[in-house]
Amino acid sequence: MARGPQVAPKAGQDSQAGKNAAYGALGVLGIALFKFKALGLIGLKLLTSFKLLVFFKSFISMFIMLGIYTMMFGWVYAFIIVGLLLIHELGHFVWMKANGLNPRSIIFMPFAGAAAVSDQPDNQSLNAWVAMAGPLIGGLTSIGLFYFGQARELNVMMAAGWTGVMLNLFQLVPAKPFDGGHILGAISKWFLLPGTLVVFTLAALWHTPLMFIIALISAYSVFMIFTGRDKSQLTMRPAKPLDKFAIACTYMGLVLILGFVYAQADAHLIKILKTL
């Protein structure tokens, strides 16, 4: 185990790292939009309206986000967080590519995360696995980053890993537009009801208007699905029972692992912050 809390903090370095850990909580403002596809599509259209930027839109949007995060949180933390967002989206992107969904690009937006845009899957099972790929790859990478930082006593890496775990765990809330809504929605639309309630509850606890907006969007999505007005649901084939079982097991395992590591990381960082 690392001896982080037992080592006297170095002036400047650990102080800044401690602030980075605290700033990580600001990621909550961007969590709600981490995979907000509508913004991703808007950003894609805006960028592709400039013909010279068609092939560079992913890199340009990433560097814009990187610059803003660097000004706010420092370049080390900014690079790590943007890297974790990229890894999360690459999980989606690679799975889309492997299944012939013609992924176009990955768009980055400051405090709105990133979005990978592709064709719509023709079945709910594939849609669920595409959604699962992001938090699976991104979550495991964040876990590895936190424990690496803990072993090396690098507070900024632990803070970034904690933020990454939190972001990916939040993405598993079973409410659209989050990944969890697409995952459990493939098993049963009834999971979306408690998931939407969770979003409303978090909005009330955090007193964040943005979360209330997302909660309303989730509620609207539920309304469209239960009234049969969601055309995307009507065009996708239902998942088979064996696929549903595999999706459910993977989902629950990922939630438990990320939840366990998040609790450990949160407690460890709180101890470090108390020493600063």
DSSP state of 276: -
How far is the C-alpha of 192 from the C-alpha of 122, rounded, in Å?
Answer: 20
Question: How much is the pLDDT for 55?
Answer: 38
How far is the C-alpha of 83 from the C-alpha of 152, rounded, in Å?
Answer: 20
In the chain the first and final C-alpha atoms are separated, in Å, by 20
**pLDDT, tens digit (0-9, with 9 covering 90-100), for 98-154:** 999 988 877 766 655 677 777 888 899 999 999 999 999 999 999 999 999 999 999
Look at residue 54 and give its three-state secondary structure: coil
For residues 4-29, average pLDDT? 45
Share of the chain above pLDDT 90, in %: 44
How far is the C-alpha of 106 from the C-alpha of 89, rounded, in Å?
Answer: 7
CB 146 within 8 A of CB 266: no
Residue 160 clears pLDDT 70, i.e. is over it: yes
CB 3 within 8 A of CB 271: no
**pLDDT, tens digit (0-9, with 9 covering 90-100), for 37-68:** 444 444 444 444 443 343 344 545 555 656 66
Tokens of 3: 């001896």
Task: Using alpha carbons, select from 194, 191, 198, 233 the residue that is nearest to residue 214.
Answer: 198
How far is the C-alpha of 87 from the C-alpha of 81, rounded, in Å?
Answer: 10
For residues 247-266, average pLDDT? 95
How far is the C-alpha of 44 from the C-alpha of 109, rounded, in Å?
Answer: 10
How far is the C-alpha of 64 from the C-alpha of 226, rounded, in Å?
Answer: 39
Question: How much is the pLDDT for 181?
Answer: 94
196: pLDDT confidence band, cut at 50, 70 and 90? Answer: very high
